[in-house]
């Protein structure tokens, strides 16, 4: 496994990191908790030391599963969790990045994770009702008190991350990035490189599309968010499947799978620290780890761009 410095945080993280959205048990179809625990443990055994979760994933369930998986191994892992989505018993969710709520939420995350500190604490999404200065004041307090070891933001616009950086030196930023999805992170990467901010690039497999396991007849259950995603509907889906077929020979040239090519593509983007990949089973871990330890050539990176020209950022 390769490791890279996570910005100026002082933390060295594996270039492959574990995403736990699916492990929360919502939005991604059927998931088995014991499989999830086994997957996390397998990843640690494979040298993956960075686990990303959030309080909203399964309304706390993902954090609890992470705690079970790392029991006795806390010292081997770097945990990132996120705050900023508030919910109630009716299933309603809304943004809340106020000082008071962050102070309340961090204690709940610490309890669910069964730890007395969080390595990386991220604001999950912007809150239009709370000034960024107030949100950063909460992160600064937690950082100064040693409750968290590094702080950052997720999916802030270029203007928002600039404002946040003026309030507090950020260590980490998190954004979606894949061969098919680039627009959101494009203006952010130069800023992060210039300020030594580590970048966690998530969704490299484009919701599974870049695994190559889907065809035009693929359907998803109603509790799977892909059932309602434009990316998996009609002509857009068909065109991307055609592009996926054209990418497969490039992966084969390296003796790699399409998913491994997609992960490696993320790691080749200047400024990206780690590719954040969701897992539900140990078998998926073995596949993901194969995305590291090699590098696509400049010629093949160019060929990939040509294959997907006109197909990027067609959905959100």
Q: Classify residue 209 by its DSSP letter.
A: G
Helix (H, G, I), strand (E, B) or coil at 274: strand
Helix or strand (DSSP H, E) at 119? strand 118-123
What does the buried/exposed string (b/e) look like for 257-295 if buried means 16 or more CB atoms within 10 Å of the residue's CB?
bbbbbbbbbbbbbebbbbbbbbbbebebbebbbbbbeee
From 57, 101, 121, 175, active-site residue: 57
User: Cα separation of 290 and 272, whole Å?
Assistant: 18
Q: What are phi and psi of 262, to 5 degrees?
A: -60, -40
Phi-psi region of 293 (alpha: psi -120 to 50; beta: other; left: phi over 0): left
Q: What share of the chain is helix, strand, coil (3-state, %, to 5)?
A: 40, 20, 40
What does the buried/exposed string (b/e) look like for 67-83 if buried means 16 or more CB atoms within 10 Å of the residue's CB?
bebbeeeeeebbbbbbb
Helix or strand (DSSP H, E) at 44? helix 33-45
Beta strands 78-83 and 118-123, pairing class: parallel
Give the relative orientation of helices 282-289 and 33-45 as an angle to the nearest 10 degrees.
30
Q: Is residue 202 annotated as part of the catalytic site, yes or no?
A: no
- Of the CA atoms within 13 Å of residue 22, those in its CB half-sphere come to 26
User: Cα separation of 209 and 213, whole Å?
Assistant: 7
CA distances from 244 to 206, 307, 308, 309 (A): 11, 9, 9, 12
- List active site positions: 57
């Amino acid at each position: 496994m390769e490791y890279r410095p996570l910005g100026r945080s002082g933390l060295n993280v594996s270039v492959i990191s574990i995403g736990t959205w699916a492990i929360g048990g919502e939005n991604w179809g059927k998931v088995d908790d014991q499989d999830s625990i086994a997957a996390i443990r397998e990843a640690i055994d494979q040298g993956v030391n960075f686990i990303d979760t959030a309080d909203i994933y399964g309304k706390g369930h993902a954090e609890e599963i992470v705690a079970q998986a790392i029991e006795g191994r806390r010292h081997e892992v770097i945990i990132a969790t996120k705050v900023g989505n508030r919910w109630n018993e009716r299933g309603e969710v809304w943004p809340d990045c106020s000082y008071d709520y962050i102070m309340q939420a961090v204690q709940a995350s610490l309890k669910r994770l069964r730890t007395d500190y969080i390595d990386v604490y991220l604001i999950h999404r912007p809150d239009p009702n709370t000034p960024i200065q107030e949100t950063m004041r909460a992160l600064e307090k937690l950082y100064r008190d040693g409750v968290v070891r590094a702080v950052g933001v997720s999916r802030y616009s270029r203007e928002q991350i600039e404002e946040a950086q003026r309030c507090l030196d950020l260590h980490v930023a998190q954004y979606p990035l894949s061969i098919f999805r680039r627009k959101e992170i494009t203006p952010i990467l130069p800023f992060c490189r210039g300020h030594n901010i580590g970048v966690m690039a998530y969704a490299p497999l484009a919701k599974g599309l870049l695994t190559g396991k889907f065809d035009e007849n693929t359907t998803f259950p109603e509790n799977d968010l892909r059932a309602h995603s434009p990316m998996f509907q009609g002509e857009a889906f068909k065109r991307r499947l055609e592009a996926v077929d054209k990418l497969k020979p490039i992966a084969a040239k390296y003796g790699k799978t399409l998913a491994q090519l997609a992960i490696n593509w993320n790691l080749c983007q200047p400024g990206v620290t780690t590719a954040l990949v969701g897992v539900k089973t140990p078998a998926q871990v073995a596949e993901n780890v194969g995305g590291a330890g090699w590098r696509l050539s400049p010629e093949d990176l160019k060929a990939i761009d040509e294959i997907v020209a006109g197909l990027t950022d067609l959905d959100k």
